């Protein structure tokens, strides 16, 4: 994709974000459906009630059929999620529909979100499975591993927290 179509994520995008959360969380590997995600707080907190003031996201792809999303949510206190770093740092979730992967959309969305977030947040963080090829994308954009952040994830493999300092 040479010139990705990108726009800000708004409250009306919540249904699409559930679909993208399904991809980002590898929920199919566990035999889950998109609807199941709503019953799993560790996942639903990334999307439920999308559109509050601190939410920031990018939707990618044609207007009539979006195919990717990258979004940030400030998840603190009881809502702190897999990639929690501190109360000022929102967590990133990102996914591209399988049909559109490997075409540059994920990179374009992430670069746009990083640019948009710079005026709002000091950093962003994420949790990623250690063997996920997405780690290379994150490293290219400037994310670094958080020391001693390796944990055993829901799938029984290892996940690591990464952080990108914005200022
Ligand atoms: C990660 C993801 C959003 C990247 O979007 P994309 O449009 O495919 O990415 P781009 O074409 O811009 O860049 C390619 C990079 O994406 C990553 N990537 C490519 N295919 C991937 C896949 N199937 N799964 C995970 N990451 C992948 C790699 O880092 C790749 O870089 P490389 O070519 O150096 O290996 C997308 O592949 C995806 O949705 N993967 C499945 C969900 C996921 O793993 N989300 C992240 C959870 S932390």
Phi, psi of 86 (to 5 degrees): -160, 175
| 114: three-class secondary structure by DSSP | helix
CA-proximal residue: ligand 1, atom 43 (nearest):
24
Domains of the chain by range and CATH? 6-122 (3.40.630.30)
Question: Could you give the CA distance from residue 32 to residue 43 in angstroms, rounded to a whole number?
Answer: 12
What lines the ligand 1 site, CB under 6 Å?
23-24, 94-96, 101-107, 126, 128, 132-134, 136-137
Q: Which two tokens stand for residue 16?
A: 């699409």
Q: Mutate which of 106, 140, 145, 161 to test ligand 1's pocket (most atoms within 8 Å of Cβ)?
A: 106
| Model confidence pLDDT, tens digit, residues 91-125 | 999 999 999 999 999 999 999 999 999 999 999 99
> pLDDT tens for residues 40-96?
999 999 999 999 999 999 999 998 999 999 999 999 999 998 899 999 999 999 999
Q: How many CB atoms lie within 10 A of CB 84?
A: 18
Answer yes or no: is pLDDT of 154 > 90.
Answer: no
């Amino acid at each position: 994709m040479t010139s990705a179509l990108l726009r800000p994520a708004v409250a009306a995008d919540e249904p699409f974000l559930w679909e993208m959360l399904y991809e980002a969380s590898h929920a199919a590997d566990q035999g889950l459906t998109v609807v199941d995600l709503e019953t799993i707080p560790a996942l639903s907190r990334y999307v439920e009630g999308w559109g509050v003031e601190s939410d920031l996201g990018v939707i990618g792809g044609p207007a009539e059929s979006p195919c990717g999303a990258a979004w940030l949510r400030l998840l603190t206190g009881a809502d702190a999620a897999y990639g929690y770093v501190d109360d000022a740092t929102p967590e990133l979730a990102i996914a591209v529909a399988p049909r559109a992967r490997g075409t540059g959309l994920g990179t374009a969305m992430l670069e746009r979100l990083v640019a948009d977030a710079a005026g709002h947040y000091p950093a962003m963080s994420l949790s990623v499975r250690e063997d996920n090829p997405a780690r290379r994308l994150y490293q290219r954009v400037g994310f670094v591993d958080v020391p001693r952040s390796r944990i055993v994830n829901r799938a029984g493999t290892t996940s690591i927290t990464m952080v990108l300092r914005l200022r």
